[in-house]
A and B are shown apart, each in its own frame.
Chain A
Amino acid sequence: MTTRALEAARNGAAAAPATGHARMKRRAGRWALRGLAGLVFFFIFIPVIFVLWISLFQQQIVSFPPEGYTLRWYENAFARSEFRHGFGLSLQVAFIAMVIGVTSGAAGAYAIVRFRFPGREAFNTLLLGPLVVPGIVAGTSLYVYYIMVENLLDVDFRGTLHGLVLGHILLTIPWTVRLVSASLVGLDRAVEEAAMNLGAGPWTTFRRITLPMMRPGLVAASLFSFIQSFENLELTLLLVGPGRTTLPVAMLNYLEFRIDPTIAAVASVQIVLIGALMLITDRFVKLSRIV
């Protein structure tokens, strides 16, 4: 629907000038486009704004209009150890999963784009696979799989840090493969050939030319991987253990017992963190150009 509206707007803009009728049509097209953009913004940002707003409400049971404003829900959020620890664990898991996932995902993307080998298509599909498996299904499968591996190897996986990280790496791989492949496909091979022509061996060429040119893709992949892991609930649910709970799971647990703006305060912290990450990243590579 969106594309069609956009197209209509573009056609409107491209229509022949001169006649008043065409101009009217063009103007109408432009307004339609603006209206649509506004609508999209509205639907994306309204929930975010409401969360931020509600986190400041005075009353415990959320109702409108607010009776007053307070910061005590933030105090409560920071005071509760499950949120503090959850936040710490989520950061830790997201960071490790990002580093491992982006490294291996980028290597996979490189192989897929650059080399012709049997099973290349299948490999590509496999790496994008986690994108289509619902999180809860993936989580359950991992859970069962971990039990099997635990029995076989006598190593704990469920409820451990490495178990969590391994699961989250699955989340980061498809994003990395997509974003890095895109940046590699757009890379002019002649640039690498020029480096070799000037005397750079394959490794030097990769390090000095290819890698820097992949940088925007890698930065974007890191950002999205981090966010995917940091926010994940479904896949994580079954993998956490006692005393080892990520922030989203901690929030869900909290909600089972009470509903008050504390949750909104925690979510606000999440939103601000991710927003800041995106802004910082955008300073280094223009995200709008890559994604």
Chain B
Amino acid sequence: MSELILDRLRKEYGSFVAVDDVSLRVEEGELVALLGPSGCGKTTTLRMIAGFIEPTAGRITIGGRDVTWDPPYRRDTGMVFQSYALFPHMTVAQNVAFGLEMRKVPRAEAETRVRRALDLVRLGHLAARLPRQLSGGQQQRVALARALVVNPGVFLLDEPLSNLDAKLRLEVRVEIRELQKRLGLTTVFVTHDQEEALTLADRLVVMDHGVVQQVGTPEELYESPANLFVAGFIGRSNVLRGRLAERGRFISKGGLALAVPADGMAPGEAALALRPERIGVAPGASDGGVVGRVALVTYLGAATEYRVTLDGGETITASVPTPRPGDPLKLVSAGDAVTLTWPAESCRLLAPGPGATPDEGGL
């Protein structure tokens, strides 16, 4: 268990930059999730930490030791692979014992530790099975036990849940988090599933095109995304483009004048991000809000989404608790006028760069 530091870690393939100067500090016992769309360089980063890919530049330090040029077998990392990568010709117990054997742990001690590791993942009764005789979830837990039994300084997981069905994914997710907490493991967890990252991680690293977009706690990322990419990638955001006329007043391209928090950006071109669930919907047109026509009502069970077209042509999606029978909102359907309201402090002003939201303005 030790601190992991990445210092301007970089990987180039020819002229293509897969990982672009990633710097990161993972504290002892902390779980950090690497999150980003496919091809953004998550796996490459993780494999550089494990030593399977040589970085083009930068430094990797584990527990104060520079391991940048150490081969994988001399780094103190425990990795769980997406494909589990169990040794097919060895039993579950032999799989788990392998790392201890390599570390020349005395047999008696190794047996105890293997048993304990298997109990930890509740597979003690399957010790004598071969991997192919196990279900996907069981194989996954063997892979966990195999990586954990050696007490790795850094625990690395590359989309360990992506081969499991939805229900199992939830179970194993909780299990991994509990184990990680209990054992105080310094952990890097790669995923492209934002919900997984939000529920699991102490801190998240959002990457895009090899570049770290933002590092922070789930709440920080959700409440104060650093840019449009993060705003669209973590949760969902309505994005309005326009300009900040003066501090506290934003004018959208569609001519909508909105009050926004007065801190931060200087006047000029800007984008405004607004979470759908921060928006209230009232039937009919009235003052004191933004008026538009409902384009689409989507029932999602606990919540209902209203896609509203504003007079200026922009679209805003609002997500509200599904109205109960008798609520006048219940009767609102496509074509009806509605009034949208939200607190000014829910608006987040961002630099007007390219965003992750494909459908500008409307999610």
Contact = CB atoms under 8 A, between A and B. Distances in A.
A196 B98 CA distance: 10
Interface in B248-294: none
Interface of B: 50-52, 71-73, 77-79, 81-83, 85-89, 98-99, 102-103, 146-147, 150
B73 A212 contact: no
A199 B150 contact: yes
A229 B73 CA distance: 42
A195 B147 CA distance: 10
A193 B87 contact: no
Main secondary structure of the interface of B (DSSP, over half): loop
Contact of A197 (B78, B86, B87): B78
Interface of A: 188, 190-191, 193-201, 204, 208-209, 212-213, 215
B73 A213 contact: no
Contacts of A199: 73, 99, 102-103, 150
Contacts of B72: 193, 196-197
Contacts of A188: 83, 85
8 contacts: A188-B85, A190-B81, A190-B85, A195-B98, A196-B71, A199-B102, A199-B150, A209-B87
A198 B146 contact: yes
Contact of B81 (A194, A201, A212, A215): A194
A194 B73 contact: no
Contacts of B71: 196, 201
A204 B51 CA distance: 17
A198 B89 contact: no
A191 B88 contact: yes
A191 B83 CA distance: 9
B149 to A, nearest CB: 9
A213 B102 contact: no
Contacts of A190: 81-83, 85
Contacts of B50: 193, 197
Contacts of A209: 87
Contact of B99 (A198, A212, A213): A198
A212 to B, nearest CB: 5
Contacts of A200: 73, 98, 102
Contact of B102 (A191, A193, A204, A215): A204
Contact of A212 (B77, B78, B89, B98): B89
A191 B52 contact: no
B81 A193 contact: yes
B48 to A, nearest CB: 13
Contact of B73 (A191, A201, A215): A201
